[in-house]
Chains A and B, each alone.
Chain A
Amino acid sequence: MKARIGVLALQGGVSEHVDMLNSLGCTTVEVRLPEHLADINGLVIPGGESTALIKLLLRWNLVSPIRELAGTGIPIWGTCAGSILLSDEISEKDHIIDQPSLELVPVRAERNSFGRQVASFQEDLVIKGLDQPFPGVFIRAPLLYPLSNRVEVLCTVEEGAVFLKCENIWLSSFHPELTDDTRIHRMFIEEAVIGS
């Protein structure tokens, strides 16, 4: 099967995901409107600004179609802002904030967990399922706190998860698409998209 992957293209690091998925032999579709979700085998929600992205998702009527897509078992992977948008709860420091989201995974995403841009960093990560460390790129990154034991945590930094999956929903708070390392993209395609 040749995977056909949608990349939400309303704002953010879209071309990096598209390039990496294409390099792995996938067909990619830039998703700007609900009709672009037809016939895809997987969806990537890239990094960007989560507050801007949720407004655009609502404005272009993409929230319900993406939720329905998830309900049919299509795998969805959110990186950084994408992981925030998919989480059930969003917090800033310790308090829950009233920001709408796609609410597709029982996780609390704590925005800007490490602080402002000066605290953005690179650090190698030990990830369950990968033999060698993975180059983590964290940009104003969130930390992810599971709210259910259905969530499988694949990597943690400090107190929080930075890579996890829950059934067909995958979240990473770092940016594999900004590196030359294709292992996590390959893992998503092989395990979630083709394996499902």
Chain B
Amino acid sequence: MSFIRDDGTWKVKTGHASMLKGGVIMDVINAEQAIIAQEAGAVAVMALERVPADIRTQGGVARMSDPDMIKGIQEAVTIPVMAKCRIGHFVEAQVLQSMEIDFIDESEVLTPADESNHVNKWDFKVPFVCGATVLEEALRRIAEGAAMIRTKGEAGTGNVVEAVRHARSVLGEIRRLQSTPYEELMSRAKVMGAPYELVKYVHENGKLPVVNFAAGGIATPSDAALMMQLGLDGVFVGSGIFKSGNPAQRAKAIVEAVSQFNDPDVIARVSTGLGEAMVGINISTIPENERMADRGW
């Protein structure tokens, strides 16, 4: 007896995201960095051409990475390999799917290709992760097919303040929706500009229907544990590792801190002797039109 095999289902997309929980996903720009990340205990790597800190300083248009470089990383490691496409650039997403990337990040870190529309992620077998600053944005992305959400934070700054703002906003709004009476949910959905069914789901379950990670400005083991204690499911670290003094050791320390995020003694121990963290940027010094979190809606 044999049964029908279904691939690319919502269950296997969101299930893959669930298996990343409690883990650290690291930005890497070449195979050597990917190996360092895997050795440190990363649950996945994000292949990109320039880390956000460099995109920020060098400027220009930031696009999907060179397929050759992505292939090199796929061959170097056995953990899942993610890659970014520009917001709304569904052909970059098609290319990434054809390369069998494990997860696509439709990311505000790259220069948006469409200022009004995101990719219709239901068209793809590969799961997508998307950034959000507030709950309604997360619900819109999920309605478009995102199987995982992350805070946008402010990438490439080494400053955790925006990630905290977005996490508190999303989680706080979830708590408020939970205590909103049923008869007010439709008008909440209208005001939020979010699909009613998802608003109702959050009201009933007190959480998003997908995994919710932290990203954008995490630079230390304490930053990572902070996001976990706030209630997020895992952590993306971008520039924070390979823009620091000792990437291998810092990467390992962040992984260890996330695995024991409620234990300050462990976090103290793993934070000791890490050398210099990346130099941070104060958000108020970044001109508004250069803030990545404002890209997408």
Contacts and interface: CB of A to CB of B under 8 A. Distances in A.
Interface of A: 9-16, 32-33, 47-49, 51-52, 55-56, 59-60, 80-81, 92, 111-112, 115-126, 133, 137-140, 175, 178-179
Interface in B62-82: 78-80
Contacts of B11: 122, 137, 178-179
Nearest to B10: A122
A28 to B, nearest CB: 16
Contact of A122 (B6, B43, B103, B255): B6
A49 B23 contact: yes
A79 to B, nearest CB: 10
A155 B61 CA distance: 51
B97 A118 contact: yes
A69 B15 CA distance: 29
A33 B23 CA distance: 17
Given A12-B19, A122-B11, A52 B260 contact: no
Given A11-B21, A60-B259, A140-B19, 9 more contacts: A12-B18, A12-B20, A49-B44, A111-B78, A116-B100, A116-B102, A137-B12, A178-B11, A179-B11
A133 B1 CA distance: 10
B259 A11 contact: yes
Contacts of A122: 5-7, 9, 11-12
A16 B20 CA distance: 13
A125 B5 CA distance: 10
A139 to B, nearest CB: 5
Contacts of A16: 18
Contact of A48 (B8, B23, B103): B23
A120 B255 contact: no
A111 B125 CA distance: 21
B200 interface: no
B19 A13 contact: yes
B215 interface: no
Nearest to B82: A117
Interface of B: 1, 3-9, 11-12, 15-16, 18-23, 38, 41-44, 78-80, 97, 100-103, 125-127, 255-256, 258-260
Residue of A10, A117, A179 with most partner-chain B CB within 10 A: A117
B43 A11 contact: yes
A12 B15 contact: no
Contacts of B4: 123-124
B259 A10 contact: yes
Contacts of A138: 12
B18 A49 contact: no
Contact of A139 (B15, B41, B256): B15
Nearest to A112: B78
A121 B7 contact: yes
Given A51-B41, A56-B255, A112-B78, A133 B19 contact: no
A163 to B, nearest CB: 15
A13 B17 CA distance: 9
Residue of A11, A56, A80, A140 with most partner-chain B CB within 10 A: A11
A32 B15 CA distance: 22
A10 B255 CA distance: 10
A82 B101 CA distance: 23
Contact of A140 (B38, B80, B255, B258): B80
